[in-house]
């Protein structure tokens, strides 16, 4: 960004007040903001009291050596005990922790398992004993590369129980990506499965582990393998002096008795790798006490969780931070009953699950929502989703039209939508409506949660004020914040804390509207400078998706001799729009001009069958920029489908620019 702030282009007048009964019985009321403002540390201490501690802390926050924070100093606890044991000891062992739904359907019957908290406690204890037998000790790192099956949750909690930090690597990543993560955190044990099911077929995982382990020399001592698909695997068994061990041999036969140790509040809980601009992945380190306090409190407050009656479903894979914070640690610490689904969102399957399990709280990504918009409302309209009472959105800003569709079609017009902003680095939700307090505004994440200090600033770190855009920063430490980058304190400081002294900045642009509510504008790398106007790709994408024929859009800035940069758009049409016809490009260009202004009118629009997305659903705009600037397309290895770029290049069409 330059000295100017971002142009503030779009305006939103629609408001949705909280349902009266939800507001009356909400877990968190408006007074929480005042209480947190009056004494932030006392506020977070109260949130931490929701956990069971071995030893109470001596100090809530030690910020004497910024940016290295310590929360709940001197306190001890065990994450697995908080997620499992304490619910059993409180007499809730018969309560279902996980309604697991496998992807395959055989003869009309799905593969399902219901696991109670008592059963989960036994499985976690057995896995902890088995890992101990394999030589895993407190402080050792364990890599986990698994599909969405219950054993992945068991494995994570067993590691947490032992104090062995885990690093979960998404099961779609390559052997090279897995090897680099194993090497960086020096994991001696890898937990995997023979394979998993995706899009109706068995997908192998063990071969990638074998290849990765070969690349890491003698680092990996054992590979613990769950049998899920039954497909053939190469085997290097212990009886031959090898490393491979079947889960059913060592875990299923282990004792259910395991005495958990209490760990220091700052003991490492997990390392999660996120791609870095330098190519070397960044190992985000989260520790135990603050992370668990932050995730459990925000899960309870943002989703208004009533653990006695709610059925909660977060659709994220555990390979991403959302799966850690809001599918494993937050919900289980709160004693929630939740759904876990193995597969991908094929037509109607999610809504069948909502209907079958009477899901009340549903948390998913805008990418998925727009996919369902493209398919048409006839599919969800065929299911009874009257059990839903709250909807959540995560992963990227949700454009207003997708918000409205989500609220009306999935939520029946009655469910509040909590549009949440947070990051792998923040560990917990930072900005979100509170469903019993906030009047929802389509497209806006609204205000920072109680106890969180967020601001939008200019290049000189001055608050931009209402009606202006700039950089989103955090002014104060928070409990679930990353503590450092694994093995690289200097890179941690350089990456997040060097732009402005004392301010955390992770690269997102934002604007404050006239009410002071926050709108996320995507990565500042995705801001375009068109004829001196700084435009957000997010706003132009929202304008495109507001057209009734458009399901999804991605916008990039491409070099232009006249304007410096020009707006180039890639759109997927809704199924009901057909091919759109040759007039669609001009129609959409005029629509953007009407919604935002002539300055934002795309120079070029390409109608494409799909967009290049990572496996977590994020659009890889740098690849689209390569196409727009007629360059060789860059690395596509992180895409969910690497053939998408070939389809896009073959479809290139554009309309002539107009004045």
Alpha-carbon torsion (275, 277, 280, 283), positive or negative: negative
Tens of pLDDT along 439-492?
A: 999 999 999 999 999 999 999 999 999 999 999 999 999 999 999 999 999 999
Residues of the chain below pLDDT 70: 1-10, 239-241, 275-279, 526, 531-534, 580-582, 615-616, 635, 637-638, 640, 651-659
In CATH, what number is assigned to the domain containing residue 496?
3.40.50.12780
Out of 226, 261, 296, a domain closes at 261
How many other β-carbons are positioned within 10 Å of the β-carbon of residue 136? 23
One domain for residues 280 and 253? no
* pLDDT score for 1: 37
Kindly state the tokens that stand for 568: 């180039």
CA–CA distance, 107 with 128 (Å, rounded to integer): 36
One domain for residues 287 and 366? yes
One domain for residues 326 and 243? no
* pLDDT score for 575: 85
User: 446-464 burial, b if ≥16 CB within 10 A, otherwise e?
Assistant: bbbbbbbbbbbbbeebeeb
- Kindly give the residue spans of alpha helices, DSSP state H, lying in 216-346: 247-250, 289-302, 321-323, 330-333
One domain for residues 280 and 428? yes
Residue 8 lies in a domain: no
Are the C-beta atoms of residues 629 and 559 closer than 8 Å to each other? yes
One domain for residues 72 and 87? no
Residue 53 lies in a domain: yes
In CATH, what number is assigned to the domain containing residue 633?
3.30.300.30
One domain for residues 67 and 83? no
For residue 565, the cross-strand partners are 559
Residue 166 lies in a domain: yes
Tens of pLDDT along 138-191?
A: 999 999 999 999 999 999 999 999 999 999 998 877 888 899 999 999 999 999
One domain for residues 70 and 87? no
Residue 7 lies in a domain: no
One domain for residues 411 and 486? yes
One domain for residues 61 and 117? no
* pLDDT score for 378: 96
* pLDDT score for 104: 87
Strands 109-116, 96-106: pairing kind: antiparallel
One domain for residues 400 and 472? yes
- Give SS3 for 476: coil
Phi-psi sector, 158: left (phi>0), alpha (psi -120 to 50), beta: alpha
User: 48-73 burial, b if ≥16 CB within 10 A, otherwise e?
Assistant: beebebeeebeebbbeeeebebbbbb
Instruction: Return the closest-CA partner of residue 36 out of 403, 468, 423, 478.
Output: 478
One domain for residues 73 and 85? no
Split into its structural domains, the chain has a count of 3
For residue 215, the cross-strand partners are none
Q: Both ends of the chain: CA-CA distance in Å?
A: 26
Are the C-beta atoms of residues 181 and 285 closer than 8 Å to each other? no
CA–CA distance, 196 with 203 (Å, rounded to integer): 5
Residue 1 lies in a domain: no
One domain for residues 46 and 171? no
Kindly state the tokens that stand for 268: 């490492």
Residue 599 lies in a domain: yes
Out of 490, 521, 552, a domain closes at 521
Instruction: Return the closest-CA partner of residue 265 out of 293, 244, 303, 285.
Output: 293
Residue range(s) defining the domain that contains residue 593:
531-650
* pLDDT score for 651: 64
CA–CA distance, 213 with 230 (Å, rounded to integer): 22
Out of 240, 261, 282, a domain closes at 261
Residue 288 lies in a domain: yes
SS (H, E, C) 405-429: HHHHHHCCCCCCEEECECCCCCCCC
Kindly state the tokens that stand for 623: 């690849």
Which helix (DSSP H) or strand (DSSP E) does residue 610 occupy? none
CA–CA distance, 136 with 378 (Å, rounded to integer): 51
Residue 10 lies in a domain: no
């Amino acid at each position: 960004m330059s000295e100017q702030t971002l142009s503030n282009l779009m305006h939103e007048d629609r408001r949705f007040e909280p349902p009266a009964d939800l507001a009356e019985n909400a877990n968190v009321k408006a007074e929480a903001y005042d209480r947190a403002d009056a004494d932030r540390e006392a506020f977070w201490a109260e949130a931490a009291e929701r956990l069971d501690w071995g030893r109470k802390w001596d100090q809530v926050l030690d910020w004497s050596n910024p940016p290295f924070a310590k929360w709940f100093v001197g306190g001890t606890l065990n994450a697995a005990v908080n997620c499992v044991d304490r619910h059993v000891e409180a007499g809730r062992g018969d309560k279902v922790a996980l309604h697991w739904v496998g992807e395959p359907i055989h003869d009309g019957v799905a593969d399902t398992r219901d696991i109670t908290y008592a059963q989960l406690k036994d499985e976690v204890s057995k896995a902890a004993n088995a890992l101990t037998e394999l030589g895993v000790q407190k402080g050792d790192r364990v890599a986990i590369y698994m599909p969405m099956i219950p054993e992945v949750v068991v494995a994570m909690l067993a590691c947490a129980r032992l104090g062995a930090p885990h690093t979960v690597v998404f099961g779609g990543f390559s052997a090279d990506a897995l090897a680099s993560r194993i090497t960086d955190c020096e994991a001696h044990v890898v937990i995997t499965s023979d394979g998993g099911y995706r899009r109706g077929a068995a997908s192998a995982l063990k071969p990638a582990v074998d290849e990765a382990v070969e690349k890491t020399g003698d680092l990996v001592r054992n590979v613990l393998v769950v049998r899920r698909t039954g497909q053939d695997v190469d085997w290097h068994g212990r009886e031959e002096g090898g490393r491979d061990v079947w889960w059913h041999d060592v875990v299923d036969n282990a004792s259910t008795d395991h005495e958990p140790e209490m760990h220091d509040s700052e003991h490492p809980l997990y390392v999660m790798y996120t791609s870095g601009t330098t190519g070397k992945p960044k190992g985000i380190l989260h520790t135990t006490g603050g992370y668990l306090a932050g995730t459990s409190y925000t899960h309870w407050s943002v989703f208004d969780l009533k653990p006695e009656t709610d059925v909660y479903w977060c659709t994220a894979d555990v390979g991403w931070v959302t799966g850690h914070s809001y599918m494993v640690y937050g919900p289980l610490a709160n004693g929630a009953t939740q759904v876990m689904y193995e597969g991908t969102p094929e037509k109607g399957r999610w809504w069948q699950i909502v209907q079958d399990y009477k899901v009340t709280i549903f948390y998913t990504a805008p990418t998925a929502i727009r996919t369902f918009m493209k398919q048409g409302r006839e599919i969800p309209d065929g299911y009874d989703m009257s059990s839903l009472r709250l909807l959540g959105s995560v992963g990227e800003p949700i454009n207003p039209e997708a918000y409205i569709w989500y609220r009306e079609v999935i939520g029946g017009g009655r469910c509040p939508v909590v549009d949440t902003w947070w990051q792998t680095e923040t560990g917990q939700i930072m900005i979100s409506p509170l469903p019993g307090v906030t009047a929802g505004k389509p497209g806006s994440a609204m205000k920072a949660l109680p106890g969180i200090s967020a601001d939008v600033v200019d290049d000189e770190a001055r608050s931009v004020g209402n009606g202006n855009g700039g950089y989103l920063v955090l002014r104060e430490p928070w409990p679930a914040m990353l503590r450092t980058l694994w093995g690289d304190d200097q890179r941690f400081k350089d990456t997040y804390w060097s732009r402005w002294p004392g301010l955390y900045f992770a690269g997102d642009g934002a604007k404050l509207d006239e009410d002071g509510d926050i709108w996320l504008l995507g990565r500042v790398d995705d801001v375009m400078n068109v004829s001196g106007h700084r435009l957000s790709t997010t706003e132009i994408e929202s304008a495109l998706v507001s057209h009734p024929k458009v399901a999804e859009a991605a916008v990039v800035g491409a070099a232009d001799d006249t304007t410096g940069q020009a707006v180039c758009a890639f759109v997927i049409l809704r199924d009901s729009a057909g091919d759109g016809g040759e007039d669609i490009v001009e129609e959409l260009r005029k629509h953007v001009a009407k919604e935002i202004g002539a300055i934002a009118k795309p120079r070029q629009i390409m109608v494409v069958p799909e967009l290049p997305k990572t496996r977590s659903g994020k659009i890889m705009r740098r690849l689209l920029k390569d196409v727009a600037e007629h360059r060789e397309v860059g690395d596509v290895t992180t895409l969910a489908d690497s053939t998408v770029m070939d389809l896009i290049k073959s479809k290139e069409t554009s309309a002539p620019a107009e004045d």
